[in-house]
């Protein structure tokens, strides 16, 4: 079911810069269905992180006329690699938990996704079929996204979840919502580097618990992630980390001396 | 992916009176996926018109935790039977033609579907996977409904089409009821207090230029301002300021001593 020839040249849409990232997918059929759903909605950029797919013929079977998209999909070994060039990285979640609050719906986020995609690549990250994204995976994500479903059966099939995200993005682009471009975000690789320096500095001054530094670091990641760091913000954060680090080291040295 | 326990008693929603009718479906896996998608979105009433399903185990496999819905599905011999008690019947279409103009989208029609469903059953009719509804089938339908997709690959999988319709209906039902609240933001006074402590700490470690501390502080205010600080974020920021301050003071003391 469908209608209306709403074609745009492949490279000219914001959607063409929205990447779907599947982390450790297991169902070949699901990956094929994802490819079909993406092509139905005008997305093209599929990346698989360490897939473990058996019976690959199911992928081709379920992709139907989206085998081209499936063939063009890239495979990488880490999520960091998959999103390194992306200015905005969204992680899907189906669970609640301390690091999973503040999730918003695809409908709420779609205009923002379209705006960011006008100036550079945006990634939406989906976890494995059985458990979803781990807390470690979510580190890389600046914004959580979830589809509201019934508590009686909340868990969507992977391709269904991808479809709903792609559908809302397509709608937002056609609605003219998300008009006006956002300032360019810093690439995720640079942001991650700055987080690591910041974490090291906070460990140095004993602000983070060495047993569980992630607890507070997640709060910072969330704060800065919601904010969306621009290149200059990242430089400032790096500078601050350096300065804290210096003071932490000096104090330690003086303590040793005294 | 999902969230929010938005359960309603099964019989109390408009959605529970929206029937999904599959006319002559052929893929058992598709029928299972349809059941799952319906249950994900809170619909329960599935009717099959003259299905010709082989390998029925696929239906159960794809339904996963919606086997109850699948088991409760009724099978009838004609579309007329399937929709006889419905006050509003919508037919899905993926083709254009003399009987197929005036199709509208699920988003446009969802509020109307919900309104009708408040007073009695409404049916949305989907055709066979290969050819869709025939003109004869469309006789029974008062309104055409279609999902907009890309001309490069317009044809949605059956379960995907059902999902999008159910999703829009669920959204429409919830939209009227102010679902989805934003987390509470910290009061501006607390945020300002934290900014001042943070600024003092950064001055202490020489990260800000004493001549013009605002230059960098504005960048932080903008970062955190875009983010929207919650009460816990403010506490973390205050804690960090205290810790930096302590290290800055210690280092200075040691310098004085040495």
Per-residue pLDDT of chain A (258 residues; tens, 9 = 90+): 333 334 344 557 899 999 999 999 999 999 999 999 999 999 999 999 999 988 888 999 999 999 999 999 999 999 999 999 998 999 998 765 555 667 899 999 999 999 999 888 999 999 999 889 998 898 888 889 999 999 899 999 999 999 999 999 999 998 875 545 567 788 888 999 999 999 999 999 999 988 888 889 988 988 888 778 889 999 999 999 999 999 888 877 665 554
pLDDT (0 to 100) of residue B93: 87
CA atoms within 13 A on the CB side of A109: 27
pLDDT (0 to 100) of residue B178: 35
Are the CB atoms for A114 and A177 separated by under 8 Å? yes
Taking CA atoms, what residue in A is nearest to B227? A227
A254 vs B159, B244, B254: nearest CB: B254
User: Using the beta-carbon criterion (under 8 Å), do B146 and A258 form an inter-chain contact?
Assistant: no
pLDDT (0 to 100) of residue A10: 52
Mean pLDDT of chain A: 87
Picking from B239, B91, B248, the residue whose alpha carbon sits closest to that of residue A250 is B248
Q: What is the pLDDT of residues B164-219, one digit of tens each?
A: 999 999 999 987 643 334 566 777 778 889 999 999 999 999 999 888 888 888 78
User: Which of B:74-133 have CB within 8 Å of A?
Assistant: 92-94, 96, 103, 107, 126-127, 132
User: Which of A:122-141 have CB within 8 Å of B?
Assistant: 126, 132
What is the tally of helices (H) and strands (E) in chain A? 10, 6
Q: What is the pLDDT of residues B120-176, one digit of tens each?
A: 889 999 999 988 999 888 877 888 899 999 989 999 999 999 999 999 999 999 876
Q: What is the pLDDT of residues A189-214, one digit of tens each?
A: 899 999 999 999 999 999 998 888 88
As a whole number of angstroms, the distance between CA B107 and CA B53 comes to 31
At A66 the three-state DSSP class reads: helix
User: Using the beta-carbon criterion (under 8 Å), do B247 and A243 form an inter-chain contact?
Assistant: no
DSSP B66: G
> Higher pLDDT residue, B256 or B108?
B108
Residue B254 has pLDDT above 90, yes or no: no
Long-range contacts (CB closer than 8 Å, 24 or more residues apart) made by B111-114: B111/B172, B112/B88, B113/B14, B113/B18, B113/B88, B113/B169, B113/B172, B114/B14, B114/B15, B114/B169, B114/B172, B114/B173
Q: Which residues of A touch B216 (CB under 8 A)?
A: 236
Picking from A93, A90, A78, the residue whose alpha carbon sits closest to that of residue A117 is A90
pLDDT (0 to 100) of residue A8: 40
Residue B98 has pLDDT above 80, yes or no: no
Q: Which helix (H) or strand (E) holds A124?
A: strand A122-126
């Amino acid at each position: 079911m469908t209608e209306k020839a709403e074609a745009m040249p492949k490279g000219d849409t914001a959607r063409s810069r929205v990447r779907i990232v599947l982390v450790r997918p297991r169902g070949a059929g699901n990956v094929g269905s994802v490819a079909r759903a993406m092509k139905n909605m005008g997305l093209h950029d599929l990346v698989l992180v360490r897939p473990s797919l058996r019976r690959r013929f199911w992928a081709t079977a379920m992709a139907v006329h989206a085998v081209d998209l499936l063939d063009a999909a890239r495979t990488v070994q880490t999520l960091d690699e998959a999103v390194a060039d992306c200015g905005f990285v969204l992680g899907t979640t189906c669970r609640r938990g301390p690091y999973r609050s503040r999730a918003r719906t695809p409908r709420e986020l779609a205009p923002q996704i379209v705006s960011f995609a006008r100036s550079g690549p945006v990634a939406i990250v989906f976890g494995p079929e059985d458990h979803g994204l781990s807390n470690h995976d979510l580190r890389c994500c600046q914004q959580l996204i979830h589809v509201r479903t019934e508590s009686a059966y909340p868990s969507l099939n992977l391709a269904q979840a991808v479809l709903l995200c792609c559908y809302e993005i397509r709608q937002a682009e056609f609605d003219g919502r998300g008009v006006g471009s956002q300032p360019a975000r810093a690439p995720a690789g640079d942001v991650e580097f700055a987080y690591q320096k910041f974490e090291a500095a906070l460990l140095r001054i004993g602000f983070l618990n060495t047993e569980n530094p992630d607890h507070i670091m997640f709060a910072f990641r969330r704060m800065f992630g919601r904010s969306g760091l621009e290149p200059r913000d990242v430089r400032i954060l790096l500078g601050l980390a350096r300065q804290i680090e210096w003071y932490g080291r000096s104090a330690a040295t003086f303590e040793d001396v005294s």
